[in-house]
Amino acid sequence: MALKATIYKAELQVSDMDRGYYATHSLVLALHPSETEERLMVRVLAFALNASDELVFGKGISSEEPDLWRQDLTGQVEQWIEIGQPDEQLLRRAAGRAQEVIVYQPATRGAAVWWEKNAAALLRIRNLQLFQIPAEACDALARLANRNMELQCLVHEGIIQVMSDVDSVEIQLQQLVPAD
């Protein structure tokens, strides 16, 4: 019998002073059996950093959809967001379909090897942005994971603070591939 996903719920308050975006979102997230809570929380962080009423989670691991995406009313993909170390060819295809492609990647040893292997090709993709999240911040985010979460995300001058009723995490992303 196949293992089933574990459902997490989050009430996420976003105060993004850099974008002038302030809203509360009720999120329902499925944790795939092969997924870690760290990756789940990086998905929540990615949602907070790009939050809008149109942003939705994709079908998840093993699907052709991104981790998150935003489409306009005609179905045109405006934003394609991946977590981790996606295949370079997938990112090129996504860049052809979407106005903007963003990758959020935990800074692990594997990420450094992936970057070294793919950097030249990724730097040629005109509408791609790639951000690395410090490993210690990813660990701290994972500790915030709870089946029923109430989180606040404050973004100000590039500094991100994710808070729960128990703890808070301060994050500064490193941008490896800047937007054109």
Does the domain at 11-177 match CATH 3.10.640.10? Answer given as yes
Cβ distance 9 to 27 under 8 Å?
Answer: yes
pLDDT value of residue 180:
65
pLDDT value of residue 64:
78
Cβ distance 11 to 149 under 8 Å?
Answer: yes
Cβ distance 70 to 55 under 8 Å?
Answer: yes
Nearest to 177 by CA among 127, 107, 113: 127
Tokens 């410090």: give the residue.
134
pLDDT by residue for the chain (180 residues), tens only, comes to 567 889 999 999 999 999 999 999 999 999 998 899 999 999 999 999 999 999 999 986 666 789 999 999 999 999 999 999 999 999 999 999 999 999 999 998 899 999 999 999 999 999 999 999 999 999 999 999 999 999 999 999 999 999 999 999 999 999 998 876
The pTM score is 0.94
Which two three-digit tokens encode residue 136? 């210690």
pLDDT value of residue 3:
78
